[in-house]
Structures are given as structure tokens and as C-alpha cells.
Amino acid sequence: MINLPNLVLEMNLTDIVHRTALRIKLNKVGGSIIHHIALLKRGLENNKVKCEMVQGFCIIPQTKEACTHYWLRETGTGLDLDVGFAVACLRTPELAEIHPVLLEELPEGMTRSDEGELTITSENQLLFDLYHKDPKDFWRQAPSDVKGFSVKLIKL
């Protein structure tokens, strides 16, 4: 049985993620994946959609590759909202064909594809930790184009 309100919410949230990614790309909003997730989180929560920032792994089942990744999870339905991957697909359209899986724990037998990206992964980890420890300081330190960007939502 389909729960119609949850289905409508999921469709709207998926559209919001795509439109937010498109606006981030078109407006050349700087910052990192953490900044983009925080923007979407702020927009959703301003519209009474509760969500949490999640840290885990983006898994590509076909190649058994994994990398550290961050996304949002809507707390009512558990729907994962991956604006970072949506932005990446707009920049590199062939990524849309890989259909990654988001997991909080790294399964055995995976090859880490981000081990050479220590600068990026450590910066993302610092920003993720700062957001959870002191959101006001996170926003204070954010690039000006990130601070000034607002997520426009359709009616949920």
C-alpha cells in the first residue's frame, strides 16, 4: 500500500534537491559539499521539514569503490537527500549512470577511492564537525556567496 502523503513529500524533496543543485551550479556557489548540504538543510528546516546531516560512504556497487560522503536524511520518512551528488551529476552528467548507494558504515571488500584526497576529506570533516559543534560559527566562517544563497522551495 502506498502512503500518498509520504510519496508526495518524497517527490517534492527529490525535485527540491535537483533544483537546489541546479541553482548552486548556475550561481557558481562556492564552498564545499558540507556548505551545500547546510544550505539545503537550512532551506528545508525553514519550511518545517526536519532533517539531519549524515556522514558515511558513497558506494558504487559495480566497481566495489567507496568514498567518504555527506548527505541529508529527512527524519520523518528516512529519505536520503544527496545534493552533493546532484551537483556532481550536473558538472559530470555520466555520473548519473553509476547509481551509488549511501551507507553509514563501510562494507567489507570495498576499495577506497578517496584515500589520495586527504586535503578535501579533512576539510570536509572539519566543516562537518564545526557545523555540529557550533552552527553559528560555521555560518560566520562560510564564504559570502554561501551565506547569501537561499534555497527556494515549492509548497510541501
Entry pTM: 0.87
Query: Does residue 149 lie in a domain region?
Result: no
* Tens-digit pLDDT profile for residues 3-26: 434 444 555 888 999 999 999 999
Tally of domains within the chain: 1
* Confidence category of residue 96, pLDDT binned at 50, 70, 90: confident
DSSP result, 72-122? EEETTT--EE-HHHHHHHHHSGGGGGS--EEESSPPTTPEES-TT-HHHHH
* Tens-digit pLDDT profile for residues 103-147: 999 999 999 988 778 788 899 999 999 999 999 999 999 999 999
pLDDT at 45 over 60: yes
Which residue type occupies 86?
A: A
What pLDDT score was predicted for residue 115?
79
* Domain that includes residue 69, residue range: 4-143
